[in-house]
Amino acid sequence: MPSIVAGRGQVALGAEELECVAQLLQSRFGFRLAEIQERNLKEAVRERMRRLGCAHGTDYVCELLGSPADGGELGELVSEYTNTETHFFRHRGRFELLCARVVPAVVERKRRSGGPIRVLSAGCSTGDEVYSIVMSLWPLRPAWCELGLEVVGCDINERALAKARQACYGSWPLRFTPSQVKAELFVPRPASTRSSAAM
């Protein structure tokens, strides 16, 4: 069986072990095998093996098999593997569409049927999109305030969700955020280059 050797101290990962890891991701989290990027998965597995001190892929697979369904090492691997690239107001046109068409139509329906306006951001990563949705809708408060607004973000990556809950961001994810929005809805942190969402 071919092995991949990487990093300090001979980390051996065979094709069979990598396939087993991919199958676990499919069965526990619903990843599609055809869409799993093998190179990125190899890198994530090798990094986790190094951190745990596992020299052999079979040892790591055993670690994953013993991982609880709600996290453990399997959750750490998913956090290492998944893409967290995001920033505020990414794909700006979608936020404009949300404000110009979607929310006004939902407000009209909700005025008749009742209940709050609900928005789900699936795959929200570090929360940039969730906060961008709220910031985009902030000027429309008079239209939705009486109904209420619930914006929920979810992600498979627990590390990213932990960052989202902190709502503390550096300048890079804010690079496309309008300066007026930054001034009104973010609070600079003292002695830091980071800002916190103030909503």
Q: Tell me, what's the pLDDT at 151?
A: 95
Alpha helices (runs of H) in the chain, residue ranges in sequence order = 15-29, 38-52, 57-65, 72-81, 92-97, 103-113, 128-137, 141-144, 158-166, 179-185
Q: Tell me, what's the pLDDT at 195?
A: 66
Given 1.10.3470, 3.30.70, 1.10.155, 1.20.1250, which CATH number is that of 3-81?
1.10.155
- Report the C-alpha gap between 147 and 150 in whole angstroms: 10
Q: Tell me, what's the pLDDT at 189?
A: 79
Q: Tell me, what's the pLDDT at 198?
A: 62
Q: How would you classify residue 81: left for phi > 0, otherwise alpha for psi between -120 and 50, otherwise beta?
A: alpha
Q: Tell me, what's the pLDDT at 36?
A: 78
Where do the domains of the chain lie?
3-81, 92-197
**Cβ neighbours around 45 below 10 Å, total:** 26
Class of domain 92-197: alpha beta
Over its length of 199 residues, how does the chain's per-residue pLDDT go in tens digits? 334 444 455 678 888 888 888 988 888 888 887 777 888 888 889 989 999 888 888 888 888 888 887 678 888 888 888 877 899 999 989 999 999 999 999 999 999 999 999 999 998 999 999 999 999 999 999 989 999 999 999 998 888 999 999 998 888 899 999 999 988 888 887 766 666 666 5
Q: Tell me, what's the pLDDT at 199?
A: 56
The closest alpha carbon to 156, from 84, 66, 89, belongs to: 84
Q: Tell me, what's the pLDDT at 188?
A: 84
Q: Tell me, what's the pLDDT at 28?
A: 82
**92-197 matches 3-81 in CATH topology:** no
